[in-house]
Amino acid sequence: MADIEVKGLVRYQGDRYSIELARGQRGGYGWTIKVRGDVGLEVLNELFKVDETLKSKFGQNQTE
From first to last of its 64 residues, what are the pLDDT tens digits of the chain? 566 554 567 889 999 999 999 988 888 889 999 999 999 899 999 999 999 999 999 886 544 4
Residue 14 lies in a domain: yes
Tally the domains of the chain. Answer: 1
Residue 15 lies in a domain: yes
Residue 26 lies in a domain: yes
Q: What is the pTM of this model?
A: 0.72
Residue 63 lies in a domain: no
- Cα 37 from chain centroid? 16
Return the SS3 of 21.
Answer: strand
pLDDT at 7: 55
The CA distance from 13 to 16, in Å, is: 8
What is the spatial order of strands in the sheet that 9-13 belongs to? 3-6, 9-13, 17-23, 29-35
The tens digit of pLDDT for each residue in 49-60 reads 999 999 999 886
Residue 42's domain comprises: 3-58
